[in-house]
Structure 1
Amino acid sequence: MGETKTALIVIDMINTYDHKDADLLIPSVRDALPAVVRLLQRARERDVPVIYANDNFGEWRSHHGEIVETALGGPHADLVEPVRPDGTDLFVVKARHSIFFETPLSYLLNQLDIGHVVLCGQVTEQCVLYSALDAHIRHMRVTVPADAVAHIHADLAEAALRMMERNMGADIRTAETARL
């Protein structure tokens, strides 16, 4: 089997932070943001596909441009602007925790011949964990830069990272050392 291609997947970073756990999440997002930005820069410099997989927050008439503009118009635009999608990035709207559940992501990754995903974003113990599992059961290699994922509960995030590593064979490392 030859070398597989890699994609960087940015999970739920386009966010208005208008939800019940936002106060717990925002400090962790601030901590993870620089590493996510560095990953985005590295991926774009290397022509690695960048795919945003983002909740639509129940607004089923919204398209990705509206989701981005709504988040940029909110009180936490400073958390969104640095990771704003550019004209080359791809965008998949999701409804539930996993980036794969009822989305065209599997098809897209197959079309791009992607066999390795680098997952960053939020929330480590929810969407990142479930997405890593779904990538694993699709026989994809998974990397999760621990400094580029944000959490609501630190103890659950640590457990989730250990589960991804132990149970799914995910490569848990830093953004700087993640292979793109």
Structure 2
Amino acid sequence: MATTALVIIDMLNTHDHDDADRLVPSITRALPAVVDLLERARAQGLPVIYANDNFGKWRSHHGEILDATLAGPNAALVEPVRPDEAPYFVVKARHSILCETPLAYLLGTLDVGHLVLCGQVTEQCVLYSALDAPIRHLEVTVARDAVAHIHQDLAEAALRMMETNMSARILPAADALR
């Protein structure tokens, strides 16, 4: 199997949007599995990459994004996955972690061919990222219990689509880095 990287999608989030009331409970359920993945990836020396929206503030950098999320009402959902000094950070414009970002180049320099995806939102950013990955010859695993959703029915459909149409492996977080 190719070198693996853990990609944490949009977990640095202010939750200042219309769907936050539906998303926050799902994040709360997924957070322990995300933290477990993060700790295991760090322990294994795997690349950890945060791919995050910048909330439309194009002059911001990851420190400012982190500060804004930690100052928000749901800082308790960010603190456990707070980046340390080692991870990589990619700002994304929309849904896919790979569309018009430097991530594909970074993955090439790290010799990464397998992504383990976790974070939010299953039926949006996780789905679009998993759909884009095979085009770039990347294998994908989605940690089923480490992704959060707004609409559970759409999230389940998205996971089925990733597995069926894109050959993504859909596994529990406990098995995703093996």
Cα displacement (A) at 1:90: 0.6
Cα displacement (A) at 1:6: 0.3
Cα displacement (A) at 1:36: 0.1
For the pair 1:155 / 2:178, whether they are aligned, the reply is: no
Q: Secondary structure at the match of 2:176?
A: coil
Cα displacement (A) at 1:81: 0.2
What value does the CA root-mean-square deviation take over the aligned residues?
0.7
Q: Which amino acid aligns with 2:89?
A: F
Q: Secondary structure at the match of 1:30?
A: helix
For the pair 1:46 / 2:44, whether they are aligned, the reply is: yes
Q: Distance in 2 between matches of 1:77 and 1:90?
A: 21
Identity of aligned residues (%): 70
Q: Which residue of 2 aligns with 1:124?
A: 122
Q: Secondary structure at the match of 1:146?
A: strand
Q: Distance in 1 between matches of 2:177 and 2:56?
A: 34
Q: Which residue of 2 aligns with 1:99?
A: 97
Match of 1:74 among 72, 75, 78: 72
Q: Distance in 1 between matches of 2:120 and 2:110?
A: 24
Contact 2:15 2:74 in 1 (8 A): yes
Cα displacement (A) at 1:179: 2.4
Q: Which amino acid aligns with 2:138?
A: M
Contact 2:141 2:170 in 1 (8 A): yes
Q: Distance in 1 between matches of 2:15 and 2:117?
A: 20
Q: Which amino acid aligns with 1:104?
A: P
Unaligned ranges ≥5, structure 1: none
Cα displacement (A) at 1:27: 0.3
For the pair 1:26 / 2:24, whether they are aligned, the reply is: yes
Q: Secondary structure at the match of 2:175?
A: coil
Q: Distance in 2 between matches of 1:179 and 1:36?
A: 12
Q: TM-score if structure 1 supplies the norm length?
A: 0.98
Q: TM-score if structure 2 supplies the norm length?
A: 0.99
Q: Secondary structure at the match of 1:110?
A: helix
Q: Which amino acid aligns with 1:122?
A: Q
Q: Which residue of 1 aligns with 2:138?
A: 140
Q: Distance in 2 between matches of 1:30 and 1:179?
A: 22
Q: Which residue of 1 aligns with 2:162?
A: 164
Aligned length: 178
Q: Which residue of 1 aligns with 2:14?
A: 16
Q: Secondary structure at the match of 1:6?
A: strand
Q: Which residue of 1 aligns with 2:56?
A: 58
Query: After TM superposition, which residue ranges in structure 1, 4 or more long, deviate above 4 angstroms?
Result: none
Q: Distance in 2 between matches of 1:5 and 1:166?
A: 23
